[in-house]
Amino acid sequence: MKHFINLKDIPANDLRNILIDAKKRKIARKKLDNLEIDKGAPLKGKLLIQMFEKSSLRTRLSFYLAIKQLGGSTLTLRPDELHLSKGGESIEDTAKILSNFGNAFMLRTDSDQKLEEFKKYLSIPIINGLSPSSHATQVLSDVFTVEEIKKKPISKLKISWIGDSNNVLNSLIAASIKFSFELNIGCPKKYHPDKNILSYIKKNSNKIFLHDDVKKAALGADVIFSDKVISMNDKVNKTKKINHFKKFRINKKLMSFAKKDCIFLHCLPRGKEVDEEVFSSKQSKVWQQALNRVHVQKSILLYCFGKLR
Ligand code: CP
Ligand code: NVA
């Protein structure tokens, strides 16, 4: 049994094996409909319990399809209906019940500590469905999308992130270290990653660069990533922050500094950080990116169950 919380804590080989499995599975089920089950139904009889303490569309749907396609099933708990959310039950006891009734637990939460506490008391795998510090399932799937479109290992590509220092960027930084790709981050100085992340970069990479000049961040890029300037529950003065990111908006002009065949990716939902012209252009691969989450999360589930081929 394995947990899937942060990319930085998972061996690079394991991450690569997940992607290899996802590629094989995606090809093998080309002609199957959404709810048809993969050959061999590897997770037959297994129940994935999901809980979202924050909004979600893609993660919810993609985990639903992922476990169904592996032959298992899922149940989504509403946090406001649990004793836990009202202080009426401990994480320890909740975890014990989840472990007895289910086979894996996927949690989207506003507390990294909560994930760790659940991990301590669960005897089933826990998967991080987004936390303040990480969005690991998203970014692993994004590596898959990049390699699928570019038909090259990501280590041979120049990746750019233009946007806030948030959970998605933290996971992209970890991915850059695990998969050894160049990452150029374009972000106003005031919003650069915090000192823990900076020291993680310093210790582990010479391929990650920070730019206050947005053009430099986009220069020669094979892929440009972005995300909302204001993340869920971001406790800031929103107008001020959006204003600080004015020059970091992804528009046609900025895309022209990247390679001609540069693609645009965004985990969604979007805000105003990207112009409609770019978002709906041929370079934008955001819908393919969103759908790939199903395929990669299936292999993440199999990894957690120790059933990766
Ligand atoms: N990208 C992503 O995680 O989307 P949701 O918040 O809709 O799940
Ligand atoms: N950074 C965004 C990602 C949403 C999928 C957030 O945390 O709100």
- The DSSP H or E segment spanning 36 is none
Distance of CA 135 from the midpoint of ligand 2 (Å): 8
Nearest residue by C-alpha to atom 6 in ligand 1:
56
User: Catalytic annotation on 138?
Assistant: yes
Break the chain into its structural domains and give their ranges.
Answer: 7-134+293-304, 136-289
Question: What amino acid is encoded at 219 in this protein?
Answer: L
Residue 106 — φ and ψ, nearest 5°?
A: -110, 125
Work out the number of other CB atoms within 10 angstroms of the CB of residue 306: 9
Distance between alpha carbon 121 and the CA centroid of its chain, in Å?
24
Nearest residue by C-alpha to atom 3 in ligand 2:
231
Residue 84 gets which letter from DSSP? G
Ligand 2 and 58: CB distance under 6 A:
no
Per-residue pLDDT of the chain (309 residues; tens, 9 = 90+): 999 999 999 999 999 999 999 999 999 999 999 999 999 999 999 999 999 999 999 999 999 999 999 999 999 999 999 999 999 999 999 999 999 999 999 999 999 999 999 999 999 999 999 999 999 999 999 999 999 999 999 999 999 999 999 999 999 999 999 999 999 999 999 999 999 999 999 999 999 999 999 999 999 999 999 999 999 999 999 999 999 999 999 999 999 999 999 999 999 999 999 999 999 999 999 999 999 999 999 999 999 999 997
Distance of CA 108 from the midpoint of ligand 2 (Å): 11
Work out the number of other CB atoms within 10 angstroms of the CB of residue 20: 14
Of 21, 142, 164, 227, which is the active-site residue?
A: 227
Q: Give the whole-angstrom CA distance, residue 271 versus residue 143.
A: 22
- Counting ligand 2 atoms within 8 A of each CB, the residue from 110, 168, 234, 238 with the most, and so the one to mutate, is 168
pLDDT of residue 14: 98
Q: What is the dihedral of CA 176, 177, 180, 184, to 10 degrees?
A: 40
Q: According to the CATH classification, is domain 136-289 in 3.40.50.1370?
A: yes
Residue 247 gets which letter from DSSP? G
**Do the first three CATH levels of 7-134+293-304 and 136-289 match, i.e. the same topology?**
yes
Ligand 2 and 267: CB distance under 6 A:
yes
- The DSSP H or E segment spanning 181 is none
pLDDT of residue 89: 98
Ligand 1 and 267: CB distance under 6 A:
yes
User: Catalytic annotation on 78?
Assistant: no
Instruction: Output the pTM of the full model.
Output: 0.98
pLDDT of residue 92: 98
Distance of CA 133 from the midpoint of ligand 2 (Å): 10
User: Catalytic annotation on 304?
Assistant: no
User: Catalytic annotation on 108?
Assistant: yes
Helix (H, G, I), strand (E, B) or coil at 251: coil
User: Catalytic annotation on 164?
Assistant: no
pLDDT of residue 309: 79
User: Catalytic annotation on 25?
Assistant: no
CATH number of 7-134+293-304: 3.40.50.1370
Ligand 2 and 266: CB distance under 6 A:
no
